[in-house]
Amino acid sequence: MKDINIFCFGFGQVAKNFIHKIKSENFKIYLSTTSTSQTHKKNISGIDYVSYYFNNEFYDLNLVKKLKDADYILISIPPTNGVDQVIKNFSKVIENCKPKWITYLSATSVYGDHKNKWVNEESTTKPTSSNGIARLEAEKSWLFLEKNKNLPVQIFRLSGIYSNENNTLIKLKSGNVNLINKKNNFFSRIHVDDIVNILFESLSNFKSGEIYNISDDKPSSSEEVILYAVQLLRINKPKIIEVKELESKILKNFYKDSKKVSNKKMKKFFNYNLKFPTYVQGLSYVRNNLV
């Protein structure tokens, strides 16, 4: 059994599933996380840990000692008001730590609109949304620390995440999905299991300063994915609406961009075969495991 001391800024579905994965590989885990509510003791997969209060510039000072002790640091907190709060509050602390591994979870929104063309890690970044702009600035901040402070940093640009608990099938069953009338609008996605498997691979196969797209093999339109999900559930197609009818600003921004995200670098470096190469395998698996 190996030991791992890990600090997670943010503890959402990716971070939680990552911890489950590490535990399943027979590691002894020393875990600390952050929470926007008060500091409290918790348990996950039989692991006792403390979740420390951290909400923008306010945080539990006990967090700092745990951060200094961590060998592995995962950052999954998105920027707030355009600012990476981890960099803002803890960059000086992290500079004086000696971690073996720092991973910043970014998003493919940093690419912006590439008019249906393929993008890879060398492609131009021209984000159109405020979230994409903030993500790109955060990436630059982390890479600055990597280059100038000799910190071991890698960046994962995640495509649209789905999981057994959060997916198109469940949204369709709840009536929360519409077909958006926008042809040839491509986006990429990734099942959370593949994200955490690649994160786990990176614990032992790590190259500092690198950026990886974390996506499946088949960029597709939302219509294509929804129609396949409808077929799996054997239900009627949802209502078709125009982009301008969307109430959510986030969704409207989403449909501004169209690109196909290449995963070739990720698969080659980590020598990884995707568990769910496309939404077909992913949603079929989810359908078979729906309660």
pLDDT tens digit string along 54-75? 999 899 999 999 999 999 999 9
Q: Give the Cα-Cα-Cα angle 109, 13, 204 (nearest 5 degrees).
A: 85
* Structure confidence at residue 241 (pLDDT): 86
* Structure confidence at residue 250 (pLDDT): 74
HSE-CB at 252 with a 13 A cutoff on CA atoms is: 9
Q: What is the mean pLDDT of each run of 10 residues along the chain (291 residues)?
A: 93 98 97 96 97 95 97 97 96 95 97 96 95 97 97 98 95 87 88 98 98 98 94 92 78 84 98 98 92 54
List the domains of the chain with CATH numbers.
2-162+189-218+260-276 (3.40.50.720)
* Structure confidence at residue 240 (pLDDT): 85
Q: 3 φ, ψ to 5°?
A: -100, 145
* Cα(145)–Cα(47) distance, integer angstroms: 31
Q: Tell me the pTM.
A: 0.96
pLDDT tens digit string along 247-275? 777 777 778 899 999 999 999 999 999 99
* Cα(24)–Cα(1) distance, integer angstroms: 11
